[in-house]
Amino acid sequence: MSIKQNRSKALSVLVVSTLAFTVCFMVWMMFGVIGIPLKKQLGLTATQFGLLTATPVLTGSLVRVPLGIWTDRFGGRIVLFITMLLCVVPIWLMSYATAYWHFLVLGLFVGLAGGSFSVGTPYVARWFPREKQGFAMGVFGAGNSGAAVNKFLAPALVVAFGWAMVPQVYAAVMLGTAIVFWLGSASDPAHLVPAAKGGFAAQLKALKDPRVIKYCQYYSIVFGGYVALSLWMVQYYAGEFGLDIRVAALLAACFSLPGGVLRAIGGWLSDKHGAHQVTWWVLWVSWICLFLLSYPQTDFTILTVNGPQTFHIGLNVYTFTALMAVLGVAFAFGKASVFKYISDDYPDNIGTISGIVGLAGGMGGFVLPIMFGYLLDLTGVRSSAFMLLYGVVWVSLIWMYFTEVRTRDVIRGESPSASTSPSGARA
């Protein structure tokens, strides 16, 4: 195969894989919108709503490791195609569900769509040279913007036809996309990992690597937090600011859209400046945004010489949306930089490692909405969701400082105190 033909095939694989992942992510986030009318119809608490939205995320997370391993062994084309086909029927059946447990059970099967990420990442990466893998994986990862597509499409269908129309349309879209993917994709036997080199037990030994555990922690916030907020934000806007579902979904997309589309830029920055430096800055920007978002709407009264005066502190909808957009950009860059770590450190085992790290991120996306709901039921404070994420970012920053920033400075013979600010981190 000539270089020109190989580049053409690589580009085709990248385009159709990104399209497939976008649709899979759109389906994966479906409950973030249709869950709102279902919450009223079924009389759900905030915790039950969180579980409803998170159920597909659970399955999509748990299957990431085996799907990543099968991608290394059998190739991404066949694995992704079968995964998409398996989702079509449960998506369609969702429109006929009537009880809460119906949605939970079907949600588990629909969640298979979320496993597409650990298939497409190694599949796409192996079509490109290492110096371009960060960008290629970033472009593919931009399929996270399916969360924003869901926020544009689903509310319109709900208002016009009712929530049951959403799974019917999504099932048809999934089937059509699977066919397009198969026709536009390709396979290369050279990309497969031999059994002797990539046996199941041998590949899972990566779980003992402390670097893998650390990357799991990073990804649990930049991806897990992204998924959780994408599921949570429509009802947050509706409850906090009293907005219509269509307006709430549109504003929520200001977080979801840059959080998906700009992942390609994050991959390019990671190729240029290194995964470490990009991730370090991502965590600091996230820390600042989440600190501001955590402050609840507050009214307080003080006694003055002229009598009691009441003051209000809180974010209005415009400032809130702006901070969410910045947070979305940071998460987009962070998702790409974490996988740049993986392609640099594990070039022969990308599928397995990306599956493990993706599992951690997905489990974050599963657990966090449930915790958001529990904290809301417990405290009555909606911004408690951001308080929780703020604590997770603190853990990641501390871990990175002691395992990367400080270690690099010691190797250079510099004082560790020189790295107490982001400027002290260099790739």
- Does the pLDDT of residue 421 top 80, yes or no? no
192 lies in a domain? no
What pLDDT does 276 receive?
A: 86
53 lies in a domain? yes
Q: Name the one residue in this structure whose structure tokens are 């209005």.
A: 316
193 lies in a domain? no
pTM for the model: 0.75
- Does the pLDDT of residue 106 top 60, yes or no? yes
User: In this structure, what is the dihedral angle of CA atoms 133, 401, 391, 312, given to the nearest 10 degrees?
Assistant: -100
160 lies in a domain? yes
- Does the pLDDT of residue 100 top 90, yes or no? yes
Angle CA(50)–CA(157)–CA(162) in degrees, nearest 5?
Answer: 75
Distance linking the first and last C-alpha atoms of the chain: 36
423 lies in a domain? no
For the chain, how many structural domains are there in total? 1
- Does the pLDDT of residue 415 top 90, yes or no? no
418 lies in a domain? no
% of the chain at pLDDT higher than 90 = 34
Q: Name the one residue in this structure whose structure tokens are 């709900």.
A: 158
Q: Which of 67-71, 183-187, 261-265 has the highest mean pLDDT?
A: 183-187
**Can you tell me the mean pLDDT for 41-60?**
89
196 lies in a domain? no
Closest C-alpha among 120, 124, 109 to residue 22: 120
What pLDDT does 201 receive?
A: 60
What pLDDT does 146 receive?
A: 87
Give the pLDDT confidence of 369-408 residue by residue, as tens digits. 899 999 999 999 999 999 999 999 998 899 888 887 766 6
- The angle, 0 to 180 degrees and rounded to 10, between the axes of the packed helices 46-62 and 350-379 is 170
Give the pLDDT confidence of 132-142 residue by residue, as tens digits. 777 788 788 78
**Can you tell me the mean pLDDT for 166-191?**
91
Domain that holds residue 47: 3-185+207-413
- Cα–Cα dist 13/10, whole Å: 5
**Can you tell me the mean pLDDT for 4-16?**
82
- Does the pLDDT of residue 4 top 70, yes or no? no
Give the pLDDT confidence of 69-92 residue by residue, as tens digits. 788 888 889 999 999 999 999 999
- Cα–Cα dist 335/137, whole Å: 10
190 lies in a domain? no
If you average pLDDT over every residue of the chain, what do you get? 84
Q: Under the phi-then-psi rule, with left for phi > 0, alpha for psi from -120 to 50, and beta for the rest, what region is 242?
A: left
Q: Which amino acid is at 70?
A: W
Per-residue pLDDT band for 19 (boundaries 50, 70, 90) equals very high
Q: What CATH number did the domain enclosing 118 receive? A: 1.20.1250.20
Give the pLDDT confidence of 140-176 residue by residue, as tens digits. 878 888 888 888 899 989 988 999 999 999 999 999 9
Give the pLDDT confidence of 344-357 residue by residue, as tens digits. 877 767 767 877 88
**Can you tell me the mean pLDDT for 24-41?**
90
**Can you tell me the mean pLDDT for 10-37?**
91
Give the pLDDT confidence of 200-247 residue by residue, as tens digits. 565 566 667 788 888 888 998 998 898 889 889 988 998 889 888 889
SS3 sequence of 191-258: HCCCCCCCCHHHHHHHHHCHHHHHHHHHHHHHCHHHHHHHHHHHHHHHHHHCCCHHHHHHHHHHHHHH
